[in-house]
Chain A
Amino acid sequence: MTHKKRFVEKNSILVKEFDRYILEHPEFADKIPDNALVVMHIEGDEEFNSWAKETAESVAEKDNQIVYVTITELKPVRSRIEKLNLQLAA
């Protein structure tokens, strides 16, 4: 997998997490200026962060203020299943 593809996939995962966070914490969205371009960063991955920054700078238009959202802590991925059954084929 090329670096770029890895970064795009990582960015998609972070965007998903961000959208979920905004749904649960709508007050966070109030801090984002109107028409801003939101760019995801993650603490500790400088290579990814610089790719995101460069990409954002080339994508942003005159009226788009770039806003960097840095995720500093992520919960481990856990199953959401609360109950399940197992059935063996005869």
Chain B
Amino acid sequence: MLVLVILSFGIRICFGFRATNIKRYTFRHFVPIAIPQSRVEAGFKPAPTGWRAVPPLPYRSLYRRQMQEKKYLILLDINARKRHYHATEAGKIIKFVIQLELRSGGVWKEVIRYDCAHDYAHKDCYNVKGKCRKINLYLDYEDALTLADDDINENWEIYRERFLRGDFP
């Protein structure tokens, strides 16, 4: 008994506590390896067991939930660009930033930013001095992202004019 306890703690210390989740695997979690016909024709021989472990259900959902991020810029004019960032998890938007940037005095400055920092969708408007006005959008992230894209695409020239004049866009 003592040997088993020491062995158990030994495994936990050497491989971390997560490694002990292996005990959750039962025969239900092993499925036969499916070998594509093309690989069989190419002379591929499966491993002697021919089975692979599938994580138990609660862990399987964690494996699937991988965050995917995308960020890029879109050219609008010689002194205007739109910054796009979004992160999705299981096809849902979990983070986004849509930002209008203008080049003034050789420096790119943020003019309008739609984002979800502090866990709510909002719009930040900046003036040329960097002062900010915050507007709560009361929208979910998908709708806020669509609104952000539409607003900046439709009105970026008006925002540029106001910003360069020194006003809030």
Contact = CB atoms under 8 A, between A and B. Distances in A.
Contacts, number: 64
B75 A37 contact: yes
Given A38-B75, A55-B77, A59-B78, A32 B70 contact: yes
Interface string B133-169: 0000000000000100110011011000000000000
Contacts of B156: 12
6 contacts: A36-B73, A37-B72, A38-B73, A38-B75, A59-B78, A59-B81
B42 to A, nearest CB: 29
Interface residues of A, number: 27
B78 A64 contact: no
A42 interface: no
Interface SS of chain B: strand
Interface in B74-90: 74-78, 81-82, 88
Given A12-B156, A15-B153, A59-B81, A64 B73 contact: yes
B75 A40 contact: yes
Interface string A32-48: 11111111100000000
A19 B81 contact: no
A8 interface: yes
B65 interface: no
Contacts of B88: 26
Contacts of B75: 11, 37-40, 52, 55-56, 59
Contact of A35 (B71, B153, B154, B157): B71
